[in-house]
Amino acid sequence: MTNQIQIRKPDDWHLHLRDGAMLRAVAPVSAAQYARAIIMPNLVPPVVRGDDAAAYRQRILEALPSGSSIFPLMTLYLTEKTDPGDVAAAAATGLVRAVKLYPAGATTNSDSGVRDFTKIRPVLEQMAEIGLPLCVHGEVSDPDIDIFDREAVFIDRVLDPMRRQTPGLRVVMEHVTTAEGLDYVRSSESGLAATLTVHHLVINRNHILAGGIRPHYYCLPVAKRESHRQALHAAAMSGDRRFFLGTDSAPHVDAAKESSCGCAGCFTALNGLNILAQIFDEAGKLDTLQTFVSLNGPAFYGLAPNEVQIVLVKEKTPVVFPGYIMTGDGPVTVFDPGFPVYWRVAE
């Protein structure tokens, strides 16, 4: 029985830090578990230009505790008016590591996203030329499409045609939730990868809806059937270089989650790595954990793996996590996996 493992410090390739009081509360939490993080740009107003990204990065650094090692990798929010030259300039400095595509209305703060995909072709062509990845929220927002089908429809209607029209475009399908999404990623030998979240490895749609509505499990993309969750497990533990961790940890204050129109998002920054160790351990796949959380992501983004090592220790009794963290805007509930977690990150 394995009671301790040592791995390279993980990265988070999809993270929401918000801004203001929320940023100051949640940034140190992610810094405790991850070395680098791709930072989502869906603020209000969004991070659209290189100057916006530079200013936001500075606010993040100021919110981190002294001695923190987390390095924010910035992204730009793609709009129909995004300037290809500004994107190229921001990428050339190393400030911006990706551009984020939100279909308009698909998720939190996505109103400035894309409606007419033909208008972003010049930006995508520029990105393909310089090798800058496109991170996609892979769902259509058409109200006529069932919410559980939106990922598969996005692949057929938007993503596959986009990639065919823009050869060389490097794409990360973020927070994949379906077997169809996984199969699409596997269909490409290069230039296409996917992030998988902690919460989608834990919950299916029954967790949200069966026996009462549980708003702290509500996320977008919404969790799917159990068969899809099992497919996500297999992908995460496979060692396949095309799959890596992007937590999509998305803090909202409880008042915004527990309302008549609650916000989407699960806050997993505090205990995500612990939960992953538990899941991989129970599946007998601890030997692939480092590949998923520490190696595949850097390889896709053209970065070296972290040299710093961390130790995960399995305790005899479950680790107790706080039920919430307090922010200047109010409490944020910590994701509860619904099962005991015995793994902790050694100090």
Query: Which are the catalytic amino acids?
Result: 248
Kind plus residue range of the DSSP H or E element containing 186: helix 179-186
User: Measured between alpha carbons, how far is 154 from 220 in angstroms, rounded to an integer?
Assistant: 14
Residues in CB range of 58: below 8 A, 6 or more apart: none
User: Measured between alpha carbons, how far is 44 from 31 in angstroms, rounded to an integer?
Assistant: 23
Strand partners, 192: 171
User: Measured between alpha carbons, how far is 146 from 187 in angstroms, rounded to an integer?
Assistant: 25
Residue 156, CA distances (Å) to 34, 150, 165, 181 in order: 34, 10, 13, 10
- Beta-strand pair 4-8/309-314: antiparallel
Strand partners, 326: 331
User: Measured between alpha carbons, how far is 300 from 61 in angstroms, rounded to an integer?
Assistant: 25
- Backbone dihedral angles phi then psi of residue 278, each to the nearest 5 degrees: -65, -45
Residues in CB range of 270: below 8 A, 6 or more apart: 29, 33, 321, 322, 325, 334, 335
* Residue 262 in tokens: 């609650």
Read out DSSP for 41-101? ---SS---SHHHHHHHHHHHHHHSPTT---EEEEEEE--TT--HHHHHHHHHTTSEEEEEE
Please compute, for residue 11, the number of CA atoms within 13 A of its CA located in the half-sphere on the CB side. Answer: 25
